[in-house]
Structure 1
Amino acid sequence: MDDALHVQDPDADEQDRDVPAEPADSMETAPVAALPRPSGEDIAAGADIAPRGKEGSQDSNASDSKTSSLFSSIPSSLSSSTGVSELSKETGPGGSEGDGHDAPPSGSTPSTSVSSLLHSACSPAPDAQLKQTAPAFPLSLEREATDYAALSHRVKPRSSIPTRIPSAVYGQQCVESAYISRLNPYALHKGEQELLQDHLCHIHVTAYLNIRNGILRLWSRNPMLSVTEDEALGCAKDSRWMPLASVAYNWLVRNGYINFGCIDIPKCPSQKRGRRKDGPTIVIVGAGMAGLGCARQLQGLFQHYYGDSVAPKLILLEGRKRIGGRIYSHPLRSLEANELPQGLRPTAEMGAHIIVGFDHGNPLDPIIRAQLALRYHLLRDISTIYDTNGLPVDEMRDSMTEKLYNDILDRSGAYRHKSVVTPTAEGDRELIDSGRDTSADDGITIREYEDAAASGITGTLLPAARLRRGVGHKTTDIKPAAGPALSELQPTKEHSAATTCQAMGWKLRQDVSPADSLSLDEIANASSTQNLGAVMDDAINQYQRLLDLTPQDMRLLNWHFANLEYANAASVGKLSLSGWDQDMGNEFEGEHAQVVGGYQQLPRGLWSLPSKLDVRTKKIVSKIWYNADSTSNEKTRVECEDGETIYADKVIFTAPLGVLKGSSVAFNPPLPEWKANAIKRLGFGLLNKVILVFKEPFWDMQRDMFGLLREPTVENSMSQDDYRANRGQFYLFWNCMATCGLPMLIALMAGESAHEAEKLSDQEIINGVTAQLRNIFKDKTVPDPLETIVTRWGQDRFAQGSYSYVAAEALPGDYDAMAKSIGNLYFAGEATCGTHPATVHGAFLSGLRAASEVIDSFLGPIDIPSPLVPAKNRASNNASMPTTPTSASPQKKRKAVSDPNGPADESPSAPLAHASEDVLRKAYDDAMWAAIISELGPAEPRPRKLALNPFLLYQKDYWYICKTECDNAKIKATGKENAKAPRDEIRQALGQMWRDASDEIKKPYLDQMEVHRKTNEEDFAKWKDRIVEWERRTYEIKDKWCAENPFEIFAQNMRDNFPANGIQDGRQKVRRL
């Protein structure tokens, strides 16, 4: 052990390799080279990595299903010659122009070169000290309002919608794109609801969602290019929807759903000619994922909205001498790594380690797999847990115990806080799925809705079964748009504990009845701040009375407790019973992964691409003076320990919760009580690691990890209290050979063991873990490690722990309180992201949120025209997308944003050399569709729906009765024999008659609506079957026709039969066939 390399303070041995220190150009540049898009078969494969049990973690949350991202993944098997990103190598970016958003993911089609967009440029060296004067900058910046009337003249409807795929396929692509962007494709986000509820009619929600989902489709298909507003406008199927497209685009851009990460944002043309203005000064405290993500997003937003007219100054202050925060890939120096691709160095992950699935909305997906093209290794399951005797645990016993643990966790979940999900406006699911908008004859018209609102029958007009509601109107029985409430996910109590155990394979004690169960109410309700550990421990005690549990079963159960403590960085005795899993339902999907060559390549990419951010390391912030009045122009003042003072318009604080708890930074005025109380109530936990590098591997290299059971303090004890102290010590080992290129193991220390590690010496910890390895691998020679590192995150002054958790005293809204800004002081970090706390992606998302709040403070709310949707024009395009593909020009691949010439001229005056190919292609498509229609006939139109509003039928029967009564009342009131009641008075009176009508009178109309509803469903189902078969047959005929009529021969015949100037006429003749 004397020859081993020990590292106690990871930062002390870094030698500034990862530090963007002064001067800035001393740092290496992180390149991104052009990569071929792999086909689906080329994407690196690997089994799901699911944690043992349901506890999950920041590194090991798993979901049952997997959804692939719409854009191509970069396979981990690519060789370095293909140009994979090497963010630890000192070279410059290079590459060439690539395809647009709709380029097909083909192995032979090169993707857009990120390097051509992301030129790495060194930021200027910062001044030694800023002048002690406040910058003169207004609270808000003027921008010219959007000219909505000009939108339809600038961009053609449907110009961003491909014409060569059926509308239903396009609709499904849009729906999938919304899901992988963390948005409900069928309902408004609560932010959209707040923005649009006073402007958007309920019948237009479907059109808005189709446009919004279409914009997300453009981004998800190629996140290496930013989506422009013109492209977004082209997602509208009718010119009257253009304002909707503009609003949707701006909302997505501002909130970081598109155009985020390491991409170049095209500069907005200057709104007004004139001298360039000095922009605001924004100071971001902390250069971890939240700070870097926020700064990168703000830089893009200012460039998008202001271009060259305003130059903001973004300054990141980092106390460490490196960037990345709690992501730290420590370089290893004991051995040369021959297994890594050229240019990647061997590193050990001291902090964040695992990507918890790329699918279902992880914002790191487009950055890691597309923009930076980082190599990654997909993880495999644990498969083996070793007992204290060094032998593997029986798999059957392991499985039974895991199920028992999950049952305990489920029963404890019955006491979780009942989350209330506020429903938002929904669109027509059938139309959205089929890629179609509403039309004049589809659904409920605006007039019908107004009539129903005046009559007080909105709930009847919008039946809950249709999942549609009017924006800004109160309705009942509407399903939540954001997924089921937590209460709907709770375990049921239909089966007793004894019966459940029998189903798992357990044998009950002789005196136990199958009806016997657990009673946890007393312990759960013993305190208003009860902890999860107390209830779970009591559940185990009660299960001991039902089952013949053994000491090995107790060790296995406590292994899962340790895994839960790893997930939360805290002992289960500190977790809130009612809210420990308050982020439930937001997990991502797909295989978990590790970054090859170090996770720190991710924050380095955010810092350096497309141009280097102004990060000032070794700048320890000591005090922040802020103004709690958001309407004031008073500046903030940030003081550093070295005496420097920086004046700013906004300050964004992204340091960990541990720093706030430790009062390491003073605030003037002091933080308000509501913020200080949230900081106090939330927990900030601890997880530590032991890194062990050996000369040769002695473990199974086919496994990415293996588990280890720990002895209680009293041998073979059956008491939970005796397992608490040791169960998390070295309970899990990561095999990191695939990611660091060296024989390296990382042992975890969770729960109370993580705190104990802070007190022990390196030698004590290393002797202990080596002894455990020698106990497991008795038949192998286990040498002393060549290099060791022990983390002590609790002693790190810039973290003071690992990540946040919901402590027993925490309240449901504490994460939201942590995120809330105070005047010109904003907050970001994983502890401010209630949907994804304790994760890298949660920290990044919080940075996007903070950037959105800051840009909104300058821009004001998104401009909404009045009316938002112009009245329908008879000459306007049909609002619904045709089922059969049109013969419009094929969708062109979008050029890189750096192309100054824009799209090629396709006007009739363009040279034939440029236009004839397009014309021939159109003629070819026309001829093909003529053949298809001649054989199959046109697609059957969608069946017309029967009315679903019972009031309309009632109105027909009682209109003249009500009219007579109203006319008589008018005559009596005016004394004129010919007096007539106005139509509006009749409608209001008729609505009152309906409300006052007895159930017996209403019943036949309601029954008729149920008949209509069933008829509509049956007719639609039959039509859908027929149209699917029709579309299937179109592909058969198309394949056959194309084989018999190759394009080259067809084109030559067209040229021979129609001279160059008459090709267009020839195409028209083909269309008339």
Structure 2
Amino acid sequence: MTQPCGFFSDGSSGPAESEQVTKGADAGVRRTGVVVVGAGIAGLAAAQALRKLGYEVVVLEARDRVGGRIWTDADGVDLGAHWIHGTEGNPLTELVEGLGIPYSYVGGDSSYTGGFDSLTLFGPDGRIANSTVKNRTLELADQVLHELEQRAELARRRGHPDMSLSGVIDEILAAAGHSHQDEQAIRYHLNVILREDVAEDPDLLSFKYWEDGYRVYGYGDSVLHGGYQAVIAALAADADIELETPVRRITLGDNAVRITTDSAVWDADKVLVTVPLGVLKAGDLLFDPPLPERKQHALDRLGFGTLNKIALHYSERFWPAEQYVYGYLCRETERYPTVVINMWKSHGKPILVLLLGASLGRVMESWPDEQVRDYATTVVSDIFGAETPAPQRVSRTSWSSDPYAHGSYACIGVNASPRDLDTLAEPVEDRLYFAGEATNSYHWGCVHSAYESGLREAARIAGDPSLYAPPSTETARRQRRDIDRMKRFARMRIGHLSLDHLRERVACLNEGVDPFGVRLFAPLVDGDLETLASMFDEITYAPGDLICREEDPAHGVYVIAEGEVLVDFGGVYEPAVMSTGAVLGSHDIFYDARTTTVTAKSAVRLFYLDHYRYKTFLYAFPDVMMTMLADLVSRWEQLEDVLDAATLAGARRLLQPREQA
């Protein structure tokens, strides 16, 4: 382990004080053990962790304040980071509780602040949408998102080239032929998820990887009563921080890493760079020698989005106190915000906050103050009526114009992937380190992303793994969204099925067996069976019709409702005749192709469910997945018995591509 002070792992002698002034040819050069570039939460977390181990750490910050993209103004408005996303299990929750910083749970997730169920949505007529209308907007969007994810999964699995997310969205919408009002409803939800959460336009996001592998903590967001600045103040306490000191160049010398600022030159044994991705992409910080080619390519591919805010400050509240979020679909959604946040509910302040992401937020930065006021008050008047009072003042953010940010947070651009975030996190020569939300491939774009990365690099610098453990209690965000969409789809479908029809489907599933006699759905209770049964479509075939052919692409699972089919296993097993209740193609989901040929012997009525929804169902009900896997293992053991333990040359061939990858 690197010694915390006095001596370093390379044998060099550390300074006795927090800094030294070098004599001789480099007279005036200041010396310390570790320099952290940037006093955002990543840099402050790393600096605090290293100081506790005895390291001499100096933090250099370009701004006249600490916090970086965390900035709470005098009225308590968080101009940058605002929420603890995913309260349960989040390390920030543990941090603020340990510091005694008060916070409140507001629910929802990073996209639907406060939760869509709790949101009051104002529609094109300026009225509150009733639950039927409101839920229909989400059902329409779910259809598009389901199709989008199906296509993305296929593209990832088959290695198709990447493209912009917008290209696929536009293609799906064009094929659907929605009315203008319905398309506006769909684009509203896409803007909630992409523009106001991911903070970028879909034409700049990767179709294949825009949220691939993104992990989330427990459901529900929280806000800090005094704003995020309270966390920053606690982490910055007693730290050696030099403000208004922008770093211009970092040079990897033979004996030290040299940091050049506008006012001084520093030599350090190790340097941790925590500046925003936008600063690195802009080339504002020079590296000598230049960063490795693969790291530079990762920088070029990754995107950096913008999320701006407009805050309207009133002398007193004139809106309902308890409603936290108002949804705004009164005008063209591409030109207006999707939500208005009520700070009275969370902070007891008569302030309304509008979120404007991506190009909408960037364009707003160029507007004159009067245009911003007119725009924001128009939104408020559409919701609360033309007689609403004028705000005392209106404030706004301009993150993309900020020379020390150039935006808000990272996103996965076209041809990029989360692996580029890992590449960005890689040290250079074990002397130059990188932290910040854009270096965290578990989850980027959040405060906890940056905080964790700072601890990660402190652990790496100190050689002390106790400082950081990778997240282990999270859920993939795409999987969570898929499950939520699946459940909403099931609720919607149940409402359109007669009770007798639903009972018929449940009975088929309850007694259903696959061709090998396994009752796949035996672990499910009736309520779970109803969820699954409601999602199936119906298909009919005439006698002699080919239902599926072995080796053809597989897209879904079948359950026989009526009639008989012949199942041909390609000579591996004897052909079998299956009837009502038989489950066909369930294991094809693992192979991406049909493993049997199925032909209708009589007139046949089938229930059909596409593999993507079926896979999502398995995520939500893993007992069924375990039954399927147990069946596969059992059949593999039977195959070994038949072969009498003969060596399978093919097994080695199957492993070789994985070993070479």
TM-score normalised by L of structure 2: 0.63
Q: For 1:772 and 1:596, how far apart are their aligned partners in 2?
A: 26
Q: For 1:552 and 1:858, how far apart are their aligned partners in 2?
A: 54
**Offset at 1:407?**
2.7
Structure 1 gaps, min length 5: 1-123, 136-278, 304-311, 333-346, 420-485, 488-520, 628-632, 713-722, 860-994, 1004-1073
- 1:714-863 superposed matches below 5 A: 724=334, 726=335, 729-778=336-385, 781-823=387-429, 824-856=431-463
Give, as a single letter, the amino acid of the residue that structure 2 aligns with 1:569. Answer: A
- Cα gap change, 1:797/1:394 in structure 2, threshold over 3 Å: closer, same or farther? same
- Cα gap change, 1:542/1:618 in structure 2, threshold over 3 Å: closer, same or farther? same
**Offset at 1:857?**
9.2
**Offset at 1:999?**
3.6
**Offset at 1:825?**
0.5
Contact 2:330 2:382 in 1 (8 A): no
Q: Is residue 370 of structure 1 aligned with residue 98 of structure 2?
A: yes
Q: Please provide the CA RMSD for this pair.
A: 3.0
- Cα gap change, 1:817/1:691 in structure 2, threshold over 3 Å: closer, same or farther? same
Query: Corresponding residue for 2:529?
Result: none
Query: Corresponding residue for 2:257?
Result: 636
Q: For 2:229 and 2:25, how far apart are their aligned partners in 1?
A: 35
- 1:54-69 superposed matches below 5 A: none
- 1:195-594 superposed matches below 5 A: 281-300=33-52, 302-303=53-54, 312-332=55-75, 347-359=76-88, 361-379=89-107, 380-381=114-115, 382-416=118-152, 528-544=161-177, 549-564=178-193, 565-584=195-214, 586-594=215-223
Indicate the SS of the match to 1:667: strand
- Cα gap change, 1:812/1:370 in structure 2, threshold over 3 Å: closer, same or farther? closer
Q: For 2:25 and 2:67, how far apart are their aligned partners in 1?
A: 30
**Offset at 1:397?**
2.1
**Offset at 1:558?**
1.4
**Offset at 1:711?**
3.2
Matching residue within 324, 328, 334 for 1:708: 328
**Offset at 1:805?**
0.3
**Offset at 1:392?**
1.4
Q: Is residue 623 of structure 1 aligned with residue 249 of structure 2?
A: yes
**Offset at 1:350?**
0.5
Q: For 2:643 and 2:79, how far apart are their aligned partners in 1?
A: 72
Give CA deviations for 1:695-731 in whole Å, capped at 9, x if unaligned: 121222111111111534xxxxxxxxxx64x1xx222
- Cα gap change, 1:392/1:678 in structure 2, threshold over 3 Å: closer, same or farther? same
Give, as a single letter, the amino acid of the residue that structure 1 aligns with 2:407. Answer: G
Q: For 2:304 and 2:207, how far apart are their aligned partners in 1?
A: 17
Indicate the SS of the match to 1:291: helix
Give CA deviations for 1:533-565 in whole Å, capped at 9, x if unaligned: 211222122222xxxx44332221111121122
Contact 1:283 1:648 in 2 (8 A): yes
Indicate the SS of the match to 2:382: helix
Matching residue within 232, 254, 260 for 1:603: 232
Indicate the SS of the match to 2:56: strand
Contact 2:78 2:227 in 1 (8 A): yes
- Cα gap change, 1:130/1:744 in structure 2, threshold over 3 Å: closer, same or farther? farther
Indicate the SS of the match to 1:542: helix
User: Identity percentage over the alignment?
Assistant: 29
Higher relative contact order (CA 8 A, sep 6+): 1
Q: For 2:640 and 2:396, how far apart are their aligned partners in 1?
A: 77
Q: For 2:24 and 2:80, how far apart are their aligned partners in 1?
A: 39
**Offset at 1:812?**
4.7
Query: Corresponding residue for 2:287?
Result: 667
Structure 2 gaps, min length 5: 1-15, 108-113, 467-636, 646-661
Give CA deviations for 1:868-901 in whole Å, capped at 9, x if unaligned: xxxxxxxxxxxxxxxxxxxxxxxxxxxxxxxxxx
Q: For 1:816 and 1:765, how far apart are their aligned partners in 2?
A: 39
- Cα gap change, 1:126/1:318 in structure 2, threshold over 3 Å: closer, same or farther? farther
- Cα gap change, 1:323/1:703 in structure 2, threshold over 3 Å: closer, same or farther? same
**Offset at 1:613?**
1.1
Contact 2:101 2:230 in 1 (8 A): no
Contact 2:140 2:185 in 1 (8 A): no
Contact 1:583 1:837 in 2 (8 A): no
Indicate the SS of the match to 2:463: helix
- 1:110-149 superposed matches below 5 A: 130-131=21-22
- The count of residues paired between Structure 1 and Structure 2 equals 445
Contact 1:762 1:790 in 2 (8 A): no
Greater Rg over alpha carbons, structure: 1
Q: For 1:387 and 1:322, how far apart are their aligned partners in 2?
A: 41
Q: For 1:591 and 1:132, how far apart are their aligned partners in 2?
A: 56
**Offset at 1:1002?**
4.7
Indicate the SS of the match to 2:90: coil
Indicate the SS of the match to 2:408: coil
Give CA deviations for 1:371-412 in whole Å, capped at 9, x if unaligned: 334333434434211123321123212212212212321221
Give, as a single letter, the amino acid of the residue that structure 2 aligns with 1:370. Answer: G
Contact 2:32 2:267 in 1 (8 A): no
Q: For 1:783 and 1:998, how far apart are their aligned partners in 2?
A: 79
Q: For 1:376 and 1:134, how far apart are their aligned partners in 2?
A: 56
Q: For 1:323 and 1:1000, how far apart are their aligned partners in 2?
A: 70
Q: For 1:134 and 1:587, how far apart are their aligned partners in 2?
A: 52
Q: For 1:817 and 1:576, how far apart are their aligned partners in 2?
A: 17
**Offset at 1:732?**
0.9
TM-score normalised by L of structure 1: 0.39
Q: For 1:416 and 1:284, how far apart are their aligned partners in 2?
A: 39
Q: For 1:709 and 1:998, how far apart are their aligned partners in 2?
A: 61
Give, as a single letter, the amino acid of the residue that structure 1 aligns with 2:400. Answer: G
Q: For 1:125 and 1:317, how far apart are their aligned partners in 2?
A: 17
Q: For 1:998 and 1:625, how far apart are their aligned partners in 2?
A: 61
Q: For 1:732 and 1:131, how far apart are their aligned partners in 2?
A: 55
Q: For 1:532 and 1:353, how far apart are their aligned partners in 2?
A: 27
Matching residue within 299, 305, 320 for 1:679: 299
Give CA deviations for 1:213-249 in whole Å, capped at 9, x if unaligned: xxxxxxxxxxxxxxxxxxxxxxxxxxxxxxxxxxxxx
Give CA deviations for 1:613-655 in whole Å, capped at 9, x if unaligned: 111111111111125xxxxx6200101112x011100000000
Q: Is residue 691 of structure 1 aligned with residue 297 of structure 2?
A: no
Query: Corresponding residue for 2:657?
Result: none
- Cα gap change, 1:369/1:774 in structure 2, threshold over 3 Å: closer, same or farther? same
Query: Corresponding residue for 1:460?
Result: none
- 1:845-994 superposed matches below 5 A: 845-856=452-463
- Cα gap change, 1:616/1:126 in structure 2, threshold over 3 Å: closer, same or farther? farther
Q: For 1:667 and 1:134, how far apart are their aligned partners in 2?
A: 22
